[in-house]
Amino acid sequence: MKYEWRKAEKEIYGVKTQPTILEVKRQQFITIKGQGNPNDIEFSNQVSALYSLAYGIKMAYKKAKKDEMDSQAITDFTVFPLEGLWQQEENAKQDQLVKDRLSYKIMIQQPDFISQELFLEALEKVRIKKPNPFYDEISFEDITDGKSIQVLHIGSYDDEPESFAKLDAFAKKHNLQRSSQIHREIYLSNAQRTAKDKLKTILRYQVKEI
């Protein structure tokens, strides 16, 4: 049986263009931290390292489960989408996005049945098959967003402020406020194969009661 995140985690990934409130429990990710413009080659190389490892983990898991006789056992899974935690440096103007002043953590979620041991095993194998200097910066960690609001943004990344304004209005209406200046983006579309006006991105930030 194959684990499909779109079907199994609809509350998180089946987002509409109207904001919703949700409680995001513990998730585990492979992650890389960075700073600077996401259009730079360094960011692209970091993304490549994450995807190479994510598929390496998938293949290692499939190999480990190839002789599984239980028809209800999970023997494969679909690789999760790329996600990013973004924040602009404190000394940058908050009302103006300066991409060179961004700090970020990009990541790909891993199913609960993936272990630290399997992560390390796949990491050593992918180092040999697909060399990338950023493997040394990848971590395997748990993250809990907790109470959050999110919305589906359709269109260019540069137009995201419109959807964040929608989130802000929704938060105000429900007596909520941001509990962190960090926001999460979940990229449901392949930016290299999708027209800018059709890109689908989940935007989320953590909130607390006023």
CATH architecture under which domain 26-143 falls: Alpha-Beta Barrel (3.20)
State the Cα–Cα distance between residues 133 and 141, nearest whole angstrom: 20
State the Cα–Cα distance between residues 155 and 39, nearest whole angstrom: 17
Q: What is the domain partition of the chain in residue ranges? A: 1-25+146-210, 26-143
pLDDT digits (tens, 9 = 90+) for 102-154: 999 999 999 999 999 999 999 999 999 999 999 999 999 999 999 999 999 99
Three-state SS for 198? helix
Identify the CATH assignment for 1-25+146-210 out of 1.10.10.970, 3.20.80.10, 2.102.10.10, 3.40.50.300.
Answer: 3.20.80.10
pLDDT digits (tens, 9 = 90+) for 169-193: 999 999 999 999 999 999 999 988 9
Helix or strand (DSSP H, E) at 153: strand 146-154
State the Cα–Cα distance between residues 124 and 44, nearest whole angstrom: 21
Handedness of CA 112, 29, 51, 8 (dihedral sign): positive
Length of the chain: 210
pLDDT digits (tens, 9 = 90+) for 68-114: 777 789 999 999 999 999 998 765 555 566 777 899 999 999 999 99
Structure tokens given for 70? 């239980």
CA-based nearest residue to 132, from 54, 60, 186: 54
Helices 116-129, 41-64: axis angle to 10 degrees equals: 120
| Fold agreement (1-25+146-210, 26-143) | yes
